[in-house]
A and B are shown apart, each in its own frame.
Chain A
Amino acid sequence: MIQLTLIELFKIIKRPRTYIGFLAIFLTVGAMQLAMFYEGEELISIAIQNLENDFRLEGKIINTNLMTYILLNSLIIHIPILICLVTGDAIAGEASSGTLRLILQRPYTRNQIYLSKALSGYLYTISLVVFLALMTYVLGYFLFGSGDLIVLRRGVTVLSSNDVGWRFFFAFCSGTLSMIVVASLSMMISSFVNNAIGPIVGTISIIIGLNIIFTLGAPLFKDIIPYVFTSHFIKWQYFFDFEIEVEKLKLSFMVQLGYIFVFNAIGMYNFNRKDILS
């Protein structure tokens, strides 16, 4: 199994499209941080202009913690697209290029092959999120330095700079779990089709569609929203609350694990029954 996973990882490393994600993060984070470096004060003052009417704000608002927090929001749409580029291609890509039949001739079960592809996809996902974390924090630190984090969520929460490290760690862990759900979904779709475009477009369409439906129709669907996987993409924000709602985070963790299990189970079931004709 480890051997199979290493082989799959080797394939991921060899594919040029693997680096599109890292390049996109590098360019996006770099551009965003530079834009904030030059125009950040004006942009932030739009968000806090009401506060400035009532209070005298003392201290540096724009710092690496705020930049990392802002860029973590890219987990909602942008990072899933980059993940699908690789994980969506895992089975469908091999089916379209005709190499799937060759792999299945090896003395491994289809479940083992599916799981090794899923595991290597998860490792790619983790590396992408770690890269995002390093890029945002390190570049932000050099451009803006450290400082207290102001979170404009449910009012205004100000967290001391020495109180945010563990919050970011768990926030990135939570974000990684959400991205593993995305990877599992695209792997599952990948097992159904023979064209790599399908899983990528399909996964993104599902994510965007669910985000739009459950954001705009939030009052209508408020009872089922906690069980829709896209609603957990922003649960990392809970780690920046003054009083953390542990029960909600536990539920989020369980729901996402459930989705990972279900997506993989469906994908493996379908992969086991799939006729490999090409």
Chain B
Amino acid sequence: MRIYSVLFLSVFTLAIYGQSIVAKNKILLVKEKLEKVPPYNCDIKVNIDVSFINIKERTGKMIFKNPEDIDYKIKGFAFLPKNEMGATTNDLFNSEFIAISLGIEEGNEIIKVIPMDINSEIVTGQFWIDSNNLISKMILITKDKGSYSAELNYGNTKYDLPSDIKIVFDVKNQKMPALLTGDLESYSEEIQDVNKVSKGSIKIKYFNHKF
């Protein structure tokens, strides 16, 4: 009985370890693909959907040098995601991490990535990776800034760059002091729950890539 138990545990551990290696290799393939992207620029359209922000679609240009160095030239003023998804995933993939495969969903392999560094800003990430080793969806849980998820769609762009991305994130309600905004009428309104966290989203379309 004891021998069987030890044998079972050993086989189970090896299977998990093997699965982890396969998942990690898949993530490394994704990382390799991301690293092969040369500097480029493209036109973008930005749409934001946050309860307390009113803004029309913004257009502009994105200049990509590397995942850590992305510059935007927007006509007018725009709100963009605080953390670049590329930069965030790059940070995660470049550190030591454990990858665990969680199965297949609609043709995408779900892989959970946990950084080894206890001080890492990202607590955990979950990636939906398609048969072309492209991220089609990801959810990142951060230490201080809540969670955010992204859905990516791909066109026929070189280097398999996304044609559009939708980032959904946690955002706190904002209430500016009336004396600062001049909105003295807000004194007669009910006070909204300032600390209430709701979901906001930003959609970015990328087109006219020039490498």
The 3 A-B pairs of least Cβ separation, nearest first, read A155-B52, A59-B77, A218-B188
Residues of chain B in range 53-80 having any CB-CB distance to chain A below 8 Å: 53-56, 60, 72, 74, 76-80
Q: Considering only CB atoms, which chain B residue lies closest to A56 in the complex?
A: B80
A47 contacts partner chain B, Cβ-Cβ < 8 Å:
yes
Report A-chain residues with C-beta under 8 Å of the C-beta of B185: 218, 231, 234
A-B residue pairs in contact (CB < 8 Å), sample of 20:
A46-B180, A47-B180, A51-B174, A54-B82, A55-B81, A56-B79, A57-B77, A58-B60, A60-B77, A76-B184, A148-B76, A152-B181, A155-B52, A155-B53, A156-B54, A156-B55, A215-B187, A218-B185, A219-B187, A222-B188
Give the Cβ gap from B128 to chain A, nearest Cβ, in Å: 25
Report A-chain residues with C-beta under 8 Å of the C-beta of B55: 156-158
Report B-chain residues with C-beta under 8 Å of the C-beta of A50: 172, 174
**A186–B64 CA distance with the chains assembled, in angstroms:** 62
Report the count of interface residues on A (CB-CB < 8 A): 40
CB < 8 Å neighbour of B78 from A59, A216, A231: A59
CB < 8 Å neighbour of A234 from B74, B79, B184: B184
Q: Verify A55–B54 contact, CB threshold 8 A.
A: no
Contact with B along A53-80 (1 / 0, CB 8 A): 1111111110000000010010010000
Give the Cβ gap from A6 to chain B, nearest Cβ, in Å: 37
Give the Cβ gap from A61 to chain B, nearest Cβ, in Å: 7
Q: Verify A59–B174 contact, CB threshold 8 A.
A: no
Contact with A along B91-104 (1 / 0, CB 8 A): 00000000000000
- Say whether, besides A215-B187, A218-B187, A155 and B77 are in contact (CB < 8 Å): no
Chain B interface residues (CB < 8 Å from chain A): 51-56, 60, 72, 74, 76-82, 169, 171-172, 174, 176, 180-188, 200
Residues of chain A in range 122-179 having any CB-CB distance to chain B below 8 Å: 147-148, 150, 152-158, 160-161
Chain A interface residues (CB < 8 Å from chain B): 46-47, 50-51, 53-61, 70, 73, 76, 147-148, 150, 152-158, 160-161, 211, 215-216, 218-219, 221-222, 225, 231, 234, 237, 242
**A51–B79 CA distance with the chains assembled, in angstroms:** 9
Q: Verify B184–A158 contact, CB threshold 8 A.
A: no
Q: Verify B171–A54 contact, CB threshold 8 A.
A: yes
CB < 8 Å neighbour of A152 from B74, B80, B176, B188: B176
Q: Verify A152–B79 contact, CB threshold 8 A.
A: no
Q: Verify B78–A234 contact, CB threshold 8 A.
A: no
**A160–B174 CA distance with the chains assembled, in angstroms:** 22
